[in-house]
Structure 1
Amino acid sequence: MGLRAIFELKITPGVARTKLAQWYEKADKSGFKSFKSFESLKATFYESSEKIVNYFKFRSSNAASESFNAKLKNFRKDLRGVSDLPYMISRITKVFG
C-alpha cells in the first residue's frame, strides 16, 4: 500500500526517487515473507530506477499495452498455436476490436 501511495502522489521525479528509496529500505527491513527475493528486487530497483521515475514526469505507463499483450498470449495459448495467420487476425479484431 505504501508503494501504491507513492505513485498516487503528484511529485517531481527527484522527490519520487527519494520516496521510492525510503520505501525500499522500509520494505527491506520489514521481514515480510513475500519479500524473500529482495536481492533480485534490489537489483531491478536500482537498474530500472530511471525508467520507474520517468512515470512521475509524464504520469503514464504502458499498462494498457501490457494487458493487451497478455490477452493476445492467452488467446494464442487457447488456440494451441496459430497456423492460419489471417484467421488469427480476424478473430483478434472480432474479440478485442
Structure 2
Amino acid sequence: MKSLQIAAALLIPASLGLMQPAAAASNAAIPMLNYDCPNDIQVHTDEGGPVYINGKEAKIKQSNDKYIEAKGEGVTVSISLNDDGTATVSYTGPKGANGVCEAAEGD
C-alpha cells in the first residue's frame, strides 16, 4: 500500500505539469556569448544553450542561473553571469593550464 501512495505522489505533480526536466530549466539562463581564451580556445554559447568549445558541443553542468561549467575538447570552461548582464569566462586545461577569457572581437 505504501508503494502505491508513493507512486501516486510522484504521478500527480507530473501529470499536472508541475515538474520540468532539469536540463530544460537549468539551460534557460545561458546567454549568447563569444569568447576567446588563451591557447586558442574559443567559446560560443547560443541563448539557452548549448555551449560550444572550439566548435564542438560541450557537456554542461549548471547548478544555478549564475554559474555554468562546460567540459569538452580537454578543457573546462567556467561561465559566471554577473548581475549587470555581463559574463566572466575562464578555463582550465590540461596540466594545470588556466586563464581568463575575453569577449571575442566584434562582440
**TM-score for both structures, normalised by structure 2:** 0.21
Higher relative contact order (CA 8 A, sep 6+): 1
More strand by share: 2
